[in-house]
Amino acid sequence: MSDPQSAAPPQAASDTRLLVIICYALFILVFTNGLTSIVGVVLAYVKRADARGTIWESHFTNLIHVFWTGFVFFVVFFSAALFGVAGLWHTAITDNFAAPVLVLPLLGAVFVVYVVWYLYRIVRGLLFALENKAYA
């Protein structure tokens, strides 16, 4: 495993580095389209096996971790948002205040915190990758 890598290290390493940077770029571009992080995580899964034992493995692990955390976050977020919208609808048609409405402003604050965390992981990883360092 380590022998083929040491046979041709510079080429393989710079290719992997470029791929890691592209993956981070795809994770940032997700804000414009909502889809490119899926491309990025597929790339990360495919290439992580090739990068075992190198510093780039930590970057692919980071990308995969961020993706699945985001996936779980959005499932929970939209379930809770649906709950809040149902409360809003109930308030509107019955004229009685329904407590689930209070979920909505709370979700707004949680969303901001989540976006900051997401960008922190991605931007920090991108900086490490540009400096040829492992994600730590």
Partner 1 sequence: MTDISSQQPVPTVDESARGTAIIAYILYLIGWPTCHLSTIVALILAYIKRGEVRGTIWESHFDNIINTFWVTLVAGIVFGILCVFVIGIPLLFGLAIWFLYRTIKGLIRAIDNKAYF
Tell me how far, at minimum, the Cβ of 95 lies from partner 1, in Å. 26
Tell me how far, at minimum, the Cβ of 26 lies from partner 1, in Å. 15
Q: Rule CB under 8 A: say whether 120 interacts with partner 1.
A: yes
Q: Rule CB under 8 A: say whether 115 interacts with partner 1.
A: yes
Name 90's Cβ contacts closer than 8 Å, sequence gap at least 6. Answer: 96, 98, 100
Nearer to partner 1 (CB atom), residue 18 or residue 130? 130
By CB under 8 A, which span of 16-24, 56-64, 92-100, 116-124 interacts with partner 1?
116-124
In the region spanning residues 22 to 81, those forming contacts with partner 1, defined by CB under 8 A, are: 28, 31
- The answer to whether 62 touches 44, Cβ cutoff 8 Å, is no
State the amino acid at position 49 in one-letter form: A
**Which of 86, 100, 104, 124 touches partner 1 (CB under 8 A)?**
124
Name 132's Cβ contacts closer than 8 Å, sequence gap at least 6. Answer: 17, 55
For residues 35 and 27, what is the distance between their CA atoms, to the nearest angstrom?
A: 9
Tokens of 47: 């290439």
> What are the residues binding partner 1 (CB under 8 A)?
28, 31, 115-116, 119-120, 123-124, 127
